[in-house]
């Protein structure tokens, strides 16, 4: 399998060079794009969160620019609200600073360890946590920040989409199509419409599918993810196991009240560089 570097942000000059900061380690991973199986490396920071056996892994996301939102040619074919009502306008966005983003969605085991709950009792701890409100997700960030001395928060939606796309401008970081094979979604409603694919009807253990080109897992599907937002309606990105493939595209955004909880909504966290 050919080893190539991950695709750089569109505005990054020259080849992508992996320069490790203090505490980071290089980690190899595999990803898929347009049917090709590829491999790359990313810079990973493993944060101890209260147990020597439980660490939260973050990928360093480098600053750059990207085009947020979907182009006109990307048909939504949604079962729900018309695309123009919930997707961001097409615009160039500049991410000014490097940041860390959780390599995985926050798991049941991690949530229990930080919050002192028992959600993982009699369940697989590496399933993503769900049924958490936006307030509970932000409370997790606050407690983890106190425990570790790091600045932990929810990513904003620009950071989220930038990291999800990983230098690609296709509907999904793996290409143009999704039928449940490369992400945990309702594959009975594939994008674009065609032959029905897989539908598991539940969450799956994190990293059950290949990473994106920057080493992040489950950016499409599994659980939809709360983002940091100051409005009354809190934004959710990424789609979930419950939703048709079109709702798992990189550009899709929708919102829920901060006190809403569902079996298909979870979160991942961002961390500031020291």
CA atoms within 13 A on the CB side of 226: 34
Domain region containing 168 = 24-271
What CATH code is carried by the domain that includes residue 125? 3.90.1580.10
Q: How far apart are CA 170 and CA 182, in angstroms?
A: 14
Has residue 2 got a pLDDT over 80?
A: no
Q: Is residue 194 part of a domain?
A: yes
- What does the pLDDT look like over 12-70, one tens digit per residue? 333 355 789 999 999 999 999 999 999 999 999 999 998 767 899 999 999 999 999 98
Question: Mapped to the 3 state alphabet, what secondary structure does the chain carry?
Answer: CCECCCCCCCCCCCCCCCCCCCCEEEEEEEEEECCEEEEEEEEEEEEEEEECCEEEEEEEECCEEEEECCCCCCCCCCCCCCHHHHCCCCEEEEECCCEEEECCCCEHHHHHHHHCCCCCCCCCCCCECCCCCHHHHHHHHHHHHHHHCCCEECCEHHHHHHHHHCCCCCCECCECCECCCCCECECCCCECCCCCCCCCCCCCCCCCCCECCCCCCCCCECCEEECECCCCEEEEECCCCCCEHHHHCCCCEEEEECCCCCCCEECCCEECCC
Give pLDDT tens digits for 157-184: 999 999 999 999 999 999 999 999 999 9
Residue 232 forms part of a structural domain: yes
- The alpha carbons of the chain give a radius of gyration, in whole angstroms, of 17
* Separation between Cα atoms, residue 222 and residue 260, nearest integer Å: 18
| pLDDT tens string 198-233 | 999 999 999 999 999 999 999 999 999 999 988 889
d(CA 133, CA 131): 7
Domain assignment of residue 6, yes or no: no
Phi, psi dihedrals of residue 247, rounded to the nearest 5°: -85, 0
**The pLDDT value given to residue 9:** 42
Residue 88 or residue 172, greater confidence: 172
Is the pLDDT assigned to residue 185 strictly greater than 90? yes
Quote the pLDDT of residue 88. 67
- For residue 5, being part of any structural domain is answered with no
List pLDDT tens digits, range 92-101: 999 999 999 9
Percent of the chain with pLDDT over 90: 79
Separation of alpha carbons 152 and 131, rounded Å = 20
Confidence of residue 141 (pLDDT cuts 50, 70, 90): very high
> In this structure, is residue 211 part of a structural domain?
yes
Q: Scanning the structure block, which residue is given the tokens 């979604």?
A: 185
Q: At what angle do helices 134-148 and 108-115 cross, to 10 degrees?
A: 70
Q: Tell me, yes or no, whether 7 lies in a domain.
A: no
pLDDT at 193: 87
How would residue 83 be classed by pLDDT, with cut points 50, 70 and 90?
low
Quick check: is 226 in a domain?
A: yes
Half-sphere exposure in the Cβ direction for 132 (13 Å, CA): 29
Lowest mean pLDDT among 80-84, 191-195, 241-245: 80-84
The pLDDT value given to residue 85: 59
**Residue 11: its pLDDT value, please?**
39
Residue 15 lies in a domain: no
Work out how many domains the chain is built from and give that number: 1
pLDDT confidence band for 259 (50 / 70 / 90): very high
pLDDT at 249 over 70: yes
Which structure tokens are listed for 76? 């939504």
| For residue 192, cis peptide bond before it (omega within 30 degrees of 0) | yes
Res. 8 pLDDT band, cuts 50 70 90:
very low
pLDDT attached to residue 50: 81
Query: What is the pLDDT at residue 84?
Result: 55
- Which pLDDT score is estimated for 99? 98
Share of the chain above pLDDT 70, in %: 89
Count CB-CB contacts under 10 A for residue 18. 14
């Amino acid at each position: 399998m050919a080893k190539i570097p991950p695709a750089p942000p569109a505005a990054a000059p020259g080849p992508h060079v992996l320069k490790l900061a203090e505490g980071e380690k290089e980690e190899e991973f595999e990803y898929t794009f347009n049917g090709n199986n590829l491999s790359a490396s990313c810079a990973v920071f493993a944060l101890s969160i209260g147990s020597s056996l439980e660490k939260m892994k973050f990928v360093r996301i480098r600053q750059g620019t990207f085009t947020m939102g979907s182009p006109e040619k990307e048909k939504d074919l949604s079962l729900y609200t018309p695309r123009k009502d919930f997707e961001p306008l097409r615009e160039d966005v500049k991410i000014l600073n490097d940041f860390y983003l959780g390599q995985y969605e926050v798991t049941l085991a991690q949530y229990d360890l930080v919050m002192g709950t028992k959600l993982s009792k009699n369940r697989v701890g590496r399933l993503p946590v769900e049924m958490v409100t936006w307030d509970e997700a932000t409370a997790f960030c606050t407690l983890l920040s106190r425990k570790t001395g790091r600045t932990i928060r929810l990513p904003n939606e620009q950071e989220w989409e930038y990291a999800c796309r990983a230098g690609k401008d296709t509907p999904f970081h793996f290409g143009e199509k999704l039928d449940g094979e490369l992400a945990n979604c309702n594959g009975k409603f594939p994008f674009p419409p065609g032959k029905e694919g897989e539908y598991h009807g539940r969450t799956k253990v994190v990293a059950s599918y290949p990473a994106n080109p920057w080493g992040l897992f489950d950016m499409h599907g599994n659980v939809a993810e709360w983002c940091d937002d100051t409005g009354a309606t809190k934004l959710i990105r990424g789609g979930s196991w419950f939703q048709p493939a079109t709702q798992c595209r990189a550009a899709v955004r929708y919102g829920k009240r901060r006190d809403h909880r569902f079996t298909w909504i979870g979160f991942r966290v961002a961390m500031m560089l020291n």
